[in-house]
Structures are given as structure tokens and as C-alpha cells.
Structure 1
């Protein structure tokens, strides 16, 4: 296995490791309440999409809803 160059920055890697993207259903903290950042972004997306905003979602549910509304509003591109 080849080593990456010493100046390699994983934050800018166009193909990050497979463990960087996890299904919200598999999050260990997915059942916790929605975060402030999620709520704020979800409120904005909901308004843009003309959809109701639910502040009682879990972190995992909010993540899925954000994905749905990003597709609907075009922000997910």
C-alpha cells in the first residue's frame, strides 16, 4: 500500500475514506434531539420549499429531512 504524500490534506481529499459518510440510521447519537445548527438550516430549507418545519426531530431524522429538502430546493447540487 502506497503512502500519501507528506503534504496530503484529508480535508481536501476528493475521495475521502468510506468511514466519512455514515447513514443517519447508524449514528450512535442519532436519537438525540436536533442540533441548533440543524434546526436553523432546516427552518431555512423548509421556508424555501414551502414545507412545514418540525423542531421535534432527532438528529438522524433532521439529517434525512435536510437531504430531502436540499433536493427539493436545489441546494443539494
Structure 2
């Protein structure tokens, strides 16, 4: 009998690696964390913050504003 291991599977992408268009919950309202970060990035970029974005749209907007402001995902 095979003994179970604690080693995670590596053949499936993690949530952070999954394309936004494939998110099951992408059409739900953005999370509080997304809203907070997006508001900060919007202020830094001098652009308007839209509080009514979906999770997927917020993720795309965060990526665009990170590129514009020079911020990375680890900042």
C-alpha cells in the first residue's frame, strides 16, 4: 500500500498562476485587500479609483497600475 505524502502536487497551477479569465469567482466584487491596494495605486498614479470592479477587473487594473507606477507585486 502506498503511503500518503505531504508533498504538494506541482502539475496544477496555483491560484496566483491561473489566468484571470479562468477564475471561477472573477465576476464577484473585488476583495477588501484588492480595493485597498488598488486605491493606493490609483492615488499614486493620479488615476480614478473605481470601487465597483470585479475581482478579475481589479486584478487586471492592479497589474496595469503596477506597471505605470513601477511597483511590483512584492512592494
TM interval, shorter chain, is 0.7 to 0.9
**Residues 29 and 40 (structure 1), Cα distance of their counterparts in 2 relative to 1, 3 Å cut:** same
Structure 1 length as normaliser, TM-score? 0.75
Listed as ranges, the matches of 1:1-77 within 5 Å are 19-20=13-14, 21-76=17-72
Structure 1 gaps of 5+ residues are 1-7, 11-15
Residues 25-55 of structure 1: CA deviation (Å, up to 9, x unaligned): 1100000001100000000000000011001
TM-score calculated relative to the size of structure 2: 0.77
Runs of 4+ in 1 over 3 A off after TM superposition: none
In the comparison of the two structures, how many residue pairs are matched?
A: 65
- What are structure 2's unaligned runs of at least 5 residues? 1-6
